[in-house]
Amino acid sequence: MPVKYSDLKKKLKIDIKKPEQTELAYLTHFLHGAGNGTSKYYQAGATQYAETILDMVAEPWYQGYLPIKWDIPFPPPENPKFKFIDLFAGIGGFRMAFQNLGGKCVFTSEWNHYAQKTYEANFGEVPFGDITKIDEKEIPDHDILVGGFPCQPFSIAGVSKKNALGRTHGFLDETQGTLFFDIARIINEKRPKAFLLENVKNLVSHDKGKTFKVISETLRELGYTIHYRVLDGKYYAPQHRERIIIVGFNKDIFLGNEEFTFPEMPDNPPMVIEDILEKEVDDKYTLTDNLWEYLQKYALKHKAAGNGFGFGLVKFDGISRTLSARYYKDGSEILIPQEGKNPRRLTPRECARLQGYPENFVIPSYVSDTQAYKQFGNSVVMPLMEDVGRSITQVLLKKNKHVKSVI
Protein backbone atom coordinates (compact mmCIF):
# COMPACT_ATOMS: atom_id res chain seq x y z
CA MET A 1 0.00 0.00 0.00
CA PRO A 2 1.36 3.45 -0.90
CA VAL A 3 2.23 5.72 2.02
CA LYS A 4 0.61 9.15 2.03
CA TYR A 5 3.06 12.01 1.75
CA SER A 6 1.22 13.85 4.53
CA ASP A 7 1.88 10.92 6.89
CA LEU A 8 5.49 10.62 5.78
CA LYS A 9 5.95 14.36 6.28
CA LYS A 10 5.05 13.97 9.96
CA LYS A 11 7.10 10.81 10.40
CA LEU A 12 10.25 12.36 8.90
CA LYS A 13 9.66 15.82 10.40
CA ILE A 14 9.62 17.68 7.10
CA ASP A 15 9.08 21.17 8.51
CA ILE A 16 10.85 24.21 7.11
CA LYS A 17 11.87 26.37 10.07
CA LYS A 18 14.90 28.24 8.78
CA PRO A 19 16.85 29.03 5.60
CA GLU A 20 19.18 26.46 4.06
CA GLN A 21 17.60 23.28 5.44
CA THR A 22 19.57 21.27 2.92
CA GLU A 23 18.86 17.99 4.69
CA LEU A 24 15.13 18.38 3.92
CA ALA A 25 15.93 19.21 0.31
CA TYR A 26 17.98 16.03 -0.02
CA LEU A 27 15.23 13.97 1.60
CA THR A 28 12.31 15.27 -0.46
CA HIS A 29 14.29 15.24 -3.70
CA PHE A 30 15.24 11.63 -2.96
CA LEU A 31 11.59 10.68 -2.43
CA HIS A 32 10.56 12.39 -5.67
CA GLY A 33 13.46 10.77 -7.52
CA ALA A 34 12.71 7.18 -6.52
CA GLY A 35 12.24 5.10 -9.63
CA ASN A 36 13.29 7.67 -12.22
CA GLY A 37 17.07 7.48 -11.96
CA THR A 38 17.72 10.73 -10.10
CA SER A 39 17.52 9.47 -6.51
CA LYS A 40 21.22 8.53 -6.60
CA TYR A 41 22.09 12.23 -6.49
CA TYR A 42 20.25 12.65 -3.19
CA GLN A 43 20.46 9.27 -1.43
CA ALA A 44 23.51 9.98 0.75
CA GLY A 45 22.11 13.25 2.07
CA ALA A 46 18.66 11.73 2.59
CA THR A 47 20.08 8.74 4.44
CA GLN A 48 22.19 10.91 6.72
CA TYR A 49 19.10 12.89 7.70
CA ALA A 50 16.87 9.82 8.06
CA GLU A 51 19.32 8.21 10.47
CA THR A 52 18.92 11.17 12.83
CA ILE A 53 15.12 10.97 12.77
CA LEU A 54 14.22 7.27 12.69
CA ASP A 55 14.73 5.15 15.81
CA MET A 56 15.67 2.10 13.79
CA VAL A 57 17.00 2.51 10.28
CA ALA A 58 16.05 -0.32 7.97
CA GLU A 59 18.41 -1.53 5.26
CA PRO A 60 17.74 0.39 3.11
CA TRP A 61 16.13 2.96 5.44
CA TYR A 62 13.34 3.89 3.00
CA GLN A 63 12.04 0.33 2.64
CA GLY A 64 8.40 0.50 3.65
CA TYR A 65 8.10 4.19 2.81
CA LEU A 66 7.83 3.71 -0.95
CA PRO A 67 5.82 4.04 -3.10
CA ILE A 68 4.31 7.34 -2.02
CA LYS A 69 0.78 8.59 -2.57
CA TRP A 70 1.33 12.27 -3.23
CA ASP A 71 -1.65 13.83 -1.43
CA ILE A 72 -0.58 17.34 -2.39
CA PRO A 73 -2.23 19.83 -4.77
CA PHE A 74 0.25 19.27 -7.62
CA PRO A 75 1.76 15.77 -7.59
CA PRO A 76 4.48 14.76 -10.06
CA PRO A 77 3.28 13.20 -13.34
CA GLU A 78 3.16 9.41 -13.34
CA ASN A 79 4.47 9.03 -16.88
CA PRO A 80 6.63 12.09 -17.56
CA LYS A 81 7.56 13.10 -21.09
CA PHE A 82 10.71 15.02 -20.15
CA LYS A 83 12.79 16.18 -17.18
CA PHE A 84 13.45 19.76 -16.13
CA ILE A 85 15.06 21.71 -13.30
CA ASP A 86 13.56 24.74 -11.57
CA LEU A 87 16.04 27.47 -10.59
CA PHE A 88 15.16 30.60 -8.59
CA ALA A 89 11.94 28.69 -8.16
CA GLY A 90 9.96 31.11 -5.99
CA ILE A 91 6.64 29.46 -5.20
CA GLY A 92 6.62 27.20 -8.24
CA GLY A 93 5.07 29.06 -11.18
CA PHE A 94 7.51 27.49 -13.63
CA ARG A 95 7.21 24.08 -12.00
CA MET A 96 3.43 24.09 -12.31
CA ALA A 97 3.63 25.22 -15.93
CA PHE A 98 6.03 22.47 -16.95
CA GLN A 99 4.33 19.78 -14.86
CA ASN A 100 1.11 20.67 -16.68
CA LEU A 101 2.98 19.87 -19.89
CA GLY A 102 4.02 16.44 -18.62
CA GLY A 103 7.45 17.29 -17.23
CA LYS A 104 9.14 15.82 -14.15
CA CYS A 105 11.10 18.26 -12.00
CA VAL A 106 14.35 16.63 -10.86
CA PHE A 107 16.00 19.55 -9.05
CA THR A 108 14.85 22.83 -7.61
CA SER A 109 16.51 25.77 -5.89
CA GLU A 110 15.05 28.76 -4.03
CA TRP A 111 16.86 30.68 -1.28
CA ASN A 112 13.89 32.34 0.48
CA HIS A 113 12.64 29.94 3.13
CA TYR A 114 9.16 31.51 3.28
CA ALA A 115 8.80 30.78 -0.44
CA GLN A 116 10.16 27.29 0.27
CA LYS A 117 7.25 26.75 2.69
CA THR A 118 4.68 27.58 0.01
CA TYR A 119 6.55 25.49 -2.55
CA GLU A 120 6.63 22.42 -0.29
CA ALA A 121 2.93 22.78 0.60
CA ASN A 122 2.01 22.58 -3.09
CA PHE A 123 4.61 20.22 -4.57
CA GLY A 124 5.78 18.11 -1.63
CA GLU A 125 9.41 19.04 -2.15
CA VAL A 126 11.76 21.37 -0.29
CA PRO A 127 13.97 23.39 -2.64
CA PHE A 128 17.71 23.56 -2.16
CA GLY A 129 18.87 27.01 -1.07
CA ASP A 130 21.62 29.35 -2.25
CA ILE A 131 22.41 28.48 -5.86
CA THR A 132 25.96 29.82 -5.48
CA LYS A 133 26.71 27.00 -3.02
CA ILE A 134 25.42 24.22 -5.25
CA ASP A 135 27.89 22.11 -7.22
CA GLU A 136 26.63 21.87 -10.79
CA LYS A 137 27.99 18.31 -11.03
CA GLU A 138 25.52 17.23 -8.34
CA ILE A 139 22.49 18.30 -10.38
CA PRO A 140 20.77 15.46 -12.29
CA ASP A 141 20.71 15.38 -16.08
CA HIS A 142 17.67 17.12 -17.54
CA ASP A 143 16.08 18.12 -20.82
CA ILE A 144 15.05 21.68 -19.95
CA LEU A 145 16.43 24.27 -17.52
CA VAL A 146 13.98 26.95 -16.41
CA GLY A 147 14.51 29.95 -14.17
CA GLY A 148 13.50 33.51 -13.49
CA PHE A 149 16.82 34.83 -12.21
CA PRO A 150 16.61 37.82 -9.85
CA CYS A 151 15.52 40.95 -11.67
CA GLN A 152 16.29 43.67 -9.10
CA PRO A 153 19.70 44.50 -10.63
CA PHE A 154 18.04 45.20 -14.00
CA SER A 155 14.56 46.57 -13.22
CA ILE A 156 13.82 50.27 -13.57
CA ALA A 157 12.80 50.55 -9.91
CA GLY A 158 15.78 48.49 -8.78
CA VAL A 159 18.27 50.57 -10.75
CA SER A 160 16.80 53.85 -9.50
CA LYS A 161 16.97 52.70 -5.88
CA LYS A 162 20.56 51.46 -6.16
CA ASN A 163 21.66 54.66 -7.89
CA ALA A 164 20.13 56.67 -5.05
CA LEU A 165 22.01 54.55 -2.53
CA GLY A 166 25.26 54.87 -4.43
CA ARG A 167 25.31 51.13 -5.13
CA THR A 168 26.15 49.27 -8.32
CA HIS A 169 23.68 47.28 -10.36
CA GLY A 170 23.59 44.74 -13.17
CA PHE A 171 26.61 42.42 -13.27
CA LEU A 172 28.42 44.71 -10.83
CA ASP A 173 25.87 43.85 -8.14
CA GLU A 174 27.77 41.22 -6.18
CA THR A 175 24.71 39.78 -4.46
CA GLN A 176 22.29 39.33 -7.35
CA GLY A 177 23.50 40.56 -10.72
CA THR A 178 26.04 37.78 -11.09
CA LEU A 179 23.52 35.00 -10.40
CA PHE A 180 23.03 34.71 -14.15
CA PHE A 181 26.49 33.19 -14.27
CA ASP A 182 25.34 30.42 -11.93
CA ILE A 183 22.80 29.55 -14.59
CA ALA A 184 25.58 29.65 -17.18
CA ARG A 185 27.84 27.27 -15.25
CA ILE A 186 24.98 24.79 -14.84
CA ILE A 187 24.14 24.96 -18.54
CA ASN A 188 27.80 24.48 -19.39
CA GLU A 189 28.06 21.36 -17.21
CA LYS A 190 24.70 19.68 -17.84
CA ARG A 191 24.11 20.66 -21.49
CA PRO A 192 20.28 20.58 -21.43
CA LYS A 193 18.47 20.38 -24.74
CA ALA A 194 16.78 23.71 -24.05
CA PHE A 195 16.29 26.45 -21.48
CA LEU A 196 13.75 29.13 -20.65
CA LEU A 197 14.84 32.23 -18.74
CA GLU A 198 12.63 35.11 -17.60
CA ASN A 199 13.42 38.62 -16.42
CA VAL A 200 12.06 42.15 -16.42
CA LYS A 201 11.53 44.01 -19.68
CA ASN A 202 14.23 46.53 -18.75
CA LEU A 203 16.90 43.84 -19.00
CA VAL A 204 17.06 44.52 -22.76
CA SER A 205 17.86 48.22 -22.35
CA HIS A 206 19.84 48.10 -19.09
CA ASP A 207 23.22 49.86 -19.32
CA LYS A 208 22.50 50.89 -22.92
CA GLY A 209 22.01 47.27 -23.95
CA LYS A 210 25.39 46.09 -22.65
CA THR A 211 23.92 43.81 -19.98
CA PHE A 212 21.71 41.91 -22.43
CA LYS A 213 24.59 41.72 -24.89
CA VAL A 214 26.73 39.99 -22.24
CA ILE A 215 23.89 37.58 -21.42
CA SER A 216 23.11 36.70 -25.04
CA GLU A 217 26.77 36.36 -26.03
CA THR A 218 27.43 34.14 -23.01
CA LEU A 219 24.57 31.83 -23.96
CA ARG A 220 25.72 31.67 -27.58
CA GLU A 221 29.29 30.92 -26.51
CA LEU A 222 27.90 27.99 -24.52
CA GLY A 223 26.64 26.55 -27.80
CA TYR A 224 23.00 27.60 -27.85
CA THR A 225 20.86 29.45 -30.34
CA ILE A 226 18.64 31.93 -28.55
CA HIS A 227 15.20 33.38 -29.19
CA TYR A 228 13.85 36.24 -27.13
CA ARG A 229 10.76 38.38 -26.98
CA VAL A 230 9.02 40.71 -24.54
CA LEU A 231 5.63 39.21 -23.73
CA ASP A 232 2.76 40.68 -21.71
CA GLY A 233 0.93 38.57 -19.15
CA LYS A 234 -2.29 40.55 -19.74
CA TYR A 235 -3.36 37.98 -22.33
CA TYR A 236 -3.46 35.28 -19.64
CA ALA A 237 -4.49 37.22 -16.52
CA PRO A 238 -5.85 40.76 -16.03
CA GLN A 239 -2.47 42.33 -15.30
CA HIS A 240 -0.13 44.39 -17.45
CA ARG A 241 3.11 42.50 -16.83
CA GLU A 242 5.78 42.68 -19.52
CA ARG A 243 8.71 40.31 -19.21
CA ILE A 244 11.63 39.34 -21.43
CA ILE A 245 11.53 35.63 -22.23
CA ILE A 246 14.78 34.03 -23.43
CA VAL A 247 14.63 30.54 -24.94
CA GLY A 248 17.69 28.59 -26.02
CA PHE A 249 18.31 25.32 -27.87
CA ASN A 250 21.44 23.18 -27.80
CA LYS A 251 23.26 23.47 -31.15
CA ASP A 252 24.81 20.03 -30.73
CA ILE A 253 21.32 18.57 -30.95
CA PHE A 254 19.31 20.97 -33.09
CA LEU A 255 22.13 22.39 -35.24
CA GLY A 256 20.46 25.80 -35.05
CA ASN A 257 17.55 24.53 -37.13
CA GLU A 258 14.87 24.20 -34.44
CA GLU A 259 11.40 25.25 -35.57
CA PHE A 260 10.53 27.38 -32.56
CA THR A 261 8.10 30.27 -32.43
CA PHE A 262 6.74 32.17 -29.46
CA PRO A 263 2.99 31.83 -28.91
CA GLU A 264 0.96 34.50 -30.63
CA MET A 265 -1.02 36.83 -28.39
CA PRO A 266 -4.73 37.50 -29.05
CA ASP A 267 -5.94 40.93 -30.12
CA ASN A 268 -7.45 41.76 -26.74
CA PRO A 269 -6.93 40.64 -23.13
CA PRO A 270 -9.54 37.94 -22.39
CA MET A 271 -9.98 38.76 -18.68
CA VAL A 272 -10.78 41.83 -16.59
CA ILE A 273 -10.12 42.64 -12.94
CA GLU A 274 -13.70 41.86 -11.93
CA ASP A 275 -13.08 38.23 -12.93
CA ILE A 276 -10.54 37.66 -10.15
CA LEU A 277 -12.16 39.51 -7.23
CA GLU A 278 -13.50 37.74 -4.16
CA LYS A 279 -17.14 38.36 -3.24
CA GLU A 280 -16.54 38.98 0.45
CA VAL A 281 -13.32 40.57 1.72
CA ASP A 282 -12.17 41.19 5.28
CA ASP A 283 -12.11 44.84 6.34
CA LYS A 284 -8.41 44.51 7.18
CA TYR A 285 -7.65 44.94 3.46
CA THR A 286 -9.36 48.37 3.36
CA LEU A 287 -6.90 51.27 3.54
CA THR A 288 -6.91 53.31 6.71
CA ASP A 289 -7.94 56.97 6.49
CA ASN A 290 -4.34 58.05 7.16
CA LEU A 291 -2.86 55.84 4.45
CA TRP A 292 -5.49 56.77 1.87
CA GLU A 293 -4.97 60.49 2.61
CA TYR A 294 -1.19 60.04 2.31
CA LEU A 295 -1.44 58.27 -1.05
CA GLN A 296 -3.72 60.97 -2.48
CA LYS A 297 -1.39 63.77 -1.36
CA TYR A 298 1.63 61.87 -2.67
CA ALA A 299 -0.03 61.48 -6.07
CA LEU A 300 -0.95 65.17 -6.25
CA LYS A 301 2.59 66.18 -5.31
CA HIS A 302 4.15 64.16 -8.10
CA LYS A 303 1.49 65.15 -10.62
CA ALA A 304 2.30 68.80 -9.95
CA ALA A 305 5.97 68.02 -10.52
CA GLY A 306 5.17 66.35 -13.83
CA ASN A 307 5.93 62.84 -12.61
CA GLY A 308 3.81 59.77 -13.19
CA PHE A 309 4.01 58.41 -9.67
CA GLY A 310 0.78 57.69 -7.85
CA PHE A 311 -1.65 55.05 -6.77
CA GLY A 312 -3.42 52.82 -9.27
CA LEU A 313 -7.19 52.69 -8.77
CA VAL A 314 -8.34 49.91 -11.08
CA LYS A 315 -11.36 49.82 -13.36
CA PHE A 316 -13.43 46.70 -12.93
CA ASP A 317 -13.69 46.19 -16.69
CA GLY A 318 -9.96 46.76 -17.23
CA ILE A 319 -6.62 45.30 -16.17
CA SER A 320 -4.25 46.21 -13.38
CA ARG A 321 -0.76 47.57 -13.22
CA THR A 322 2.11 45.16 -12.57
CA LEU A 323 1.97 43.44 -9.20
CA SER A 324 5.31 43.95 -7.46
CA ALA A 325 7.05 42.43 -4.44
CA ARG A 326 6.56 45.76 -2.61
CA TYR A 327 2.79 45.42 -2.74
CA TYR A 328 2.71 44.55 0.96
CA LYS A 329 3.85 48.07 1.89
CA ASP A 330 0.73 50.00 0.89
CA GLY A 331 -0.87 48.23 -2.08
CA SER A 332 -0.74 51.51 -3.96
CA GLU A 333 -0.12 50.14 -7.46
CA ILE A 334 -3.33 48.07 -7.48
CA LEU A 335 -6.23 49.43 -5.41
CA ILE A 336 -9.82 48.20 -5.63
CA PRO A 337 -12.55 50.88 -5.39
CA GLN A 338 -15.24 50.31 -2.77
CA GLU A 339 -18.56 52.14 -2.64
CA GLY A 340 -18.83 54.29 0.46
CA LYS A 341 -15.42 53.16 1.75
CA ASN A 342 -11.74 53.74 1.17
CA PRO A 343 -10.16 51.56 -1.54
CA ARG A 344 -8.71 48.21 -0.53
CA ARG A 345 -5.72 46.05 -1.32
CA LEU A 346 -6.00 42.80 -3.18
CA THR A 347 -6.18 39.74 -0.98
CA PRO A 348 -3.41 37.11 -1.33
CA ARG A 349 -5.90 34.83 -3.14
CA GLU A 350 -6.67 37.60 -5.62
CA CYS A 351 -2.92 38.06 -6.15
CA ALA A 352 -2.67 34.35 -6.90
CA ARG A 353 -5.44 34.68 -9.50
CA LEU A 354 -3.74 37.76 -10.94
CA GLN A 355 -0.71 35.56 -11.67
CA GLY A 356 -2.86 32.81 -13.18
CA TYR A 357 -2.61 30.29 -10.35
CA PRO A 358 -5.53 27.84 -10.02
CA GLU A 359 -7.90 27.86 -7.05
CA ASN A 360 -6.34 24.76 -5.49
CA PHE A 361 -2.96 26.46 -5.15
CA VAL A 362 -2.32 26.47 -1.41
CA ILE A 363 -1.44 29.69 0.39
CA PRO A 364 -0.36 28.17 3.73
CA SER A 365 -1.96 29.61 6.85
CA TYR A 366 1.51 29.86 8.42
CA VAL A 367 2.64 32.20 5.62
CA SER A 368 1.73 35.80 6.50
CA ASP A 369 -0.04 38.17 4.12
CA THR A 370 3.20 40.18 3.91
CA GLN A 371 5.16 37.15 2.75
CA ALA A 372 2.38 36.05 0.40
CA TYR A 373 2.36 39.48 -1.27
CA LYS A 374 6.13 39.27 -1.76
CA GLN A 375 5.86 35.75 -3.17
CA PHE A 376 3.17 36.54 -5.72
CA GLY A 377 4.80 39.86 -6.61
CA ASN A 378 8.00 37.97 -7.45
CA SER A 379 6.19 35.24 -9.35
CA VAL A 380 5.51 34.68 -13.04
CA VAL A 381 2.19 34.68 -14.88
CA MET A 382 1.95 30.91 -14.80
CA PRO A 383 -0.24 30.23 -17.88
CA LEU A 384 2.00 32.46 -20.03
CA MET A 385 5.02 30.36 -19.04
CA GLU A 386 3.03 27.21 -19.77
CA ASP A 387 2.22 28.49 -23.25
CA VAL A 388 5.89 29.31 -23.96
CA GLY A 389 6.84 25.94 -22.46
CA ARG A 390 4.42 24.22 -24.82
CA SER A 391 6.23 25.74 -27.79
CA ILE A 392 9.56 24.49 -26.38
CA THR A 393 8.36 20.97 -25.63
CA GLN A 394 6.82 20.63 -29.08
CA VAL A 395 10.29 21.16 -30.53
CA LEU A 396 11.85 18.69 -28.08
CA LEU A 397 9.25 15.96 -28.45
CA LYS A 398 9.41 16.20 -32.22
CA LYS A 399 13.21 15.89 -32.08
CA ASN A 400 12.99 13.05 -29.54
CA LYS A 401 11.71 10.78 -32.28
CA HIS A 402 15.33 10.75 -33.42
CA VAL A 403 17.26 11.79 -30.29
CA LYS A 404 16.98 9.89 -27.00
CA SER A 405 15.63 11.88 -24.03
CA VAL A 406 17.17 11.61 -20.60
CA ILE A 407 13.85 10.14 -19.36
Summarised one tens digit per residue, pLDDT across range 242-278 is 999 999 999 999 999 999 999 998 888 889 999 999 9
Q: Is residue 142 part of a domain?
A: yes
pLDDT value of residue 211: 81
Specify the CATH number for the domain of residue 339. 3.90.120.10
On the question of pLDDT at 179 being above 90, the answer is no
**For residue 279, pLDDT beyond 90:** yes
pLDDT of residue 301 exceeding 70: yes
pLDDT exceeds cutoff 70 at 404: no
Q: Which range among 103-112, 256-265, 293-302, 356-365 shows the weakest confidence by mean pLDDT?
A: 293-302
What is the percentage of the chain residues whose pLDDT exceeds 70? 89
Residue 105 known to be catalytic: no
Specify whether 94 is located in the same domain as 198: yes
What local confidence, expressed as pLDDT, does residue 282 receive?
A: 97
Same domain, 103 and 238: yes
Q: What pLDDT score does 209 carry?
A: 79
- Is there a single domain that holds both residue 92 and residue 64? no
Residue 167: the pLDDT is 47
The average pLDDT across 21-27 equals: 95
- Look up the domain containing 38 and give its range: 1-71
- Shared domain check, 258 and 156: yes
Same domain? 393 vs 293? no
Q: Do 60 and 87 share a domain, yes or no?
A: no
Q: Does the residue 405 lie in any domain?
A: no
Share of the chain above pLDDT 90, in %: 71
**Would you place residue 34 in the very low, low, confident or very high pLDDT band (cuts 50, 70, 90)?**
confident
Does 114 lie in the same domain as 169? yes
**The last residue of a domain, from among 26, 54, 71:** 71
Q: Quick one: 62 and 152 in the same domain?
A: no
pLDDT bracket for residue 54 (50, 70, 90): confident
- As a whole number, mean pLDDT of residues 108-137 equals 96
Is the residue at 406 inside a domain? no
Q: Which of 35-44, 91-100, 243-252, 324-333 has the lowest mean pLDDT?
A: 35-44
What is the predicted pLDDT for the residue at 128? 97
State pLDDT tens for residues 55-111.
Answer: 756 678 888 888 899 999 999 999 999 999 999 999 999 999 999 999 999 999 999
Among 68, 91, 105, 151, the one annotated catalytic:
151
What is the SS3 assignment for the chain?
CCEEHHHHHHHCCCCCCCCCCHHHHHHHHHHHHCCCCCHHHCHHHHHHHHHHHCCCCCCCCCCCCCCEECCCCCCCCCCCCEEEEEECCCCCHHHHHHHHCCEEEEEEECCCHHHHHHHHHHHCCCCECCHHHCCHHHCCCCCEEEECCCCCCCCHHHHHHHHHCCCCCHHHCCCCHHHHHHHHHHHHHHCCCEEEEEEEHHHCCHHHHHHHHHHHHHHHHCCEEEEEEEEEHHHCCCECCEEEEEEEEEHHHHCCCCCCCCCCCCCCCCCCHHHHCCCCCCHHHECCHHHHHHHHHHHHHHHHCCCCCCCCECCCCCCECCCCCCHHHHCCCCEEEECCEEEECCCHHHHHHHCCCCCCCCCCCCCCHHHHHHHHHCCCCHHHHHHHHHHHHHHHHHHCCCCCCCC
